[in-house]
């Protein structure tokens, strides 16, 4: 049985509240779980002490039993010093898509043409004087 340490959503619509649970990887997100080891409230300020509440001893025990945390839970465990999570870097994420690049190129061509058209009458007026 493959165990996951993951978030189970609770709370009202547009007011999320998550439980950090140990569950079988095949069970539904909000479905049956084995153990609850903490909570996460994303609406609280990032520096609030009760934004992430985690039972460290239970988390250690489940990690020793082979439970795999999801990426978000791994961040919480890393913040509590239970797990070493490598920082990720995706430099291509910030690059605009193909269509956006095409639009930018078209806009640059139009601006160059407008600048050239504006410069041509100014040059003619200067040479006429």
Rounded to 5 degrees, φ, ψ at 89 are -140, 125
Per-residue confidence band for 127, with pLDDT thresholds at 50, 70 and 90: low
| Fold of the CATH domain 3-79 | S16 Ribosomal Protein; Chain: A; (3.30.1320)
CB atoms within 10 A of CB 69: 23
* pLDDT, tens digit, 9 for 90 and up, residues 90-118: 888 888 889 999 999 999 999 999 888 88
Give the tens place of pLDDT for each residue, 56-70: 999 999 999 999 999
Q: How confident is the model at residue 124 (pLDDT cuts 50, 70, 90)?
A: low
Q: Is the pLDDT of residue 87 over 90?
A: no
Beta bridge partners of 98: none
Question: pTM here?
Answer: 0.67
Domain boundaries, the chain: 3-79, 96-128
């Amino acid at each position: 049985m493959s165990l996951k340490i993951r978030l189970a959503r609770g709370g009202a619509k547009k007011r999320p509240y998550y439980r950090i649970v140990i569950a079988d990887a095949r069970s539904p997100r909000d479905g049956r779980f084995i153990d609850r080891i903490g909570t996460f409230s994303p609406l609280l300020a990032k520096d609030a002490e009760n934004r992430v509440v985690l039972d460290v001893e239970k988390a250690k025990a489940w990690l020793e039993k082979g439970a795999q945390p999801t990426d978000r839970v791994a961040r919480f465990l890393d913040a509590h010093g239970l797990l070493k999570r490598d920082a990720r870097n995706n430099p291509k994420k910030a690059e605009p898509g193909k269509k956006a690049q095409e639009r930018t190129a078209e806009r640059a061509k139009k601006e160059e043409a407008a600048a050239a058209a504006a410069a041509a009458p100014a040059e003619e007026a200067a040479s006429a004087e």
